Amino acid sequence: MHPGEPYVTNDSFLNGHVVYSVYPFTGNDYVSIFKDIKQGKLDKELYDEWLDYTAEYIWSEILNSNKPDIIAVPQSSSSLVEDLAKQISRMAYIDYLPHAFRKNPVTKITITVPQGIKIPQSTMDAMNKILTRIHQEGRFEAKSVPKRMLKFFRNIYTNDDEYKDELRGKKVAVLDDSMSSKATMANIFDVCDYVYNVSDCCGITVFKKVPSKK
């Protein structure tokens, strides 16, 4: 499993920031490979080899031309993302911050539609109904929200006060395992821009499911 060019995502939902995905996959290939690595089904030697190769790729192909001060991961990240972040940190002498972005209480979650984006009133009504249910139940699961709507749900993440001074004015790379709806990265970029006040940030995901080529 070898990556080619990073898959680049950059649109209005990401506040002008860029997300690079190392392994774009389609269909069942994505699901099976992603699960095998994420669930620790690779033997240790193969896993370590994959970790070394992927860390080197992220450094040489994505981060080296615009070296960040810090590589950070959200609270919800899997162990493979933490392992990968540590490996990149050691390799490139970049500070590593675990759990720099924490889940907000669900009552803080809101719906935000970026300026210039038009959605049908029926969709807006459906999202408000879902948001009401989330607030009432006191529980948020991304899989319970249709993917086409998930990117409009904001304030999912907040900052960790422990890191506020450490991140202010710094260049930050945010590493996560996968991206489908853009919701996680969009929320994290909100925290980077408006709470941590970083000077620059980009996102990196290990995997991304992409449309099949016709």
Per-residue tens of pLDDT for the chain, all 214 residues:
556 788 999 987 888 899 999 988 776 655 566 666 666 666 788 888 889 999 999 999 999 988 999 999 988 667 889 999 999 999 999 999 988 888 889 999 999 988 888 999 999 999 999 999 999 999 988 878 998 898 899 999 888 778 888 899 999 999 998 887 788 898 899 999 988 899 999 999 998 877 766 5
User: What CATH number does the domain containing 61 carry?
Assistant: 3.40.50.2020
How far is 65 from 76, CA to CA, in rounded Å?
28
* pLDDT given at position 25: 79
Number of domains in the chain: 1
The Cβ-side half-sphere exposure at 44, using a 13 Å CA radius, reads 0
Q: Is 30 domain-assigned?
A: yes
Range of the domain at 72: 7-104+156-209
For the chain, the maximum distance between any two Cα atoms, rounded to a whole number of angstroms, is 53
Q: Is 116 domain-assigned?
A: no
Q: Is 168 domain-assigned?
A: yes
CB contact at 8 A, 58 and 204? yes
Q: What is the DSSP letter of 104?
A: P
* pLDDT given at position 32: 62
How far is 191 from 208, CA to CA, in rounded Å?
22
Strand order in the sheet with 70-74: 7-9, 19-25, 200-209, 171-179, 70-74, 95-103, 157-159
Q: Is 71 domain-assigned?
A: yes
How far is 97 from 78, CA to CA, in rounded Å?
14
* pLDDT given at position 213: 65
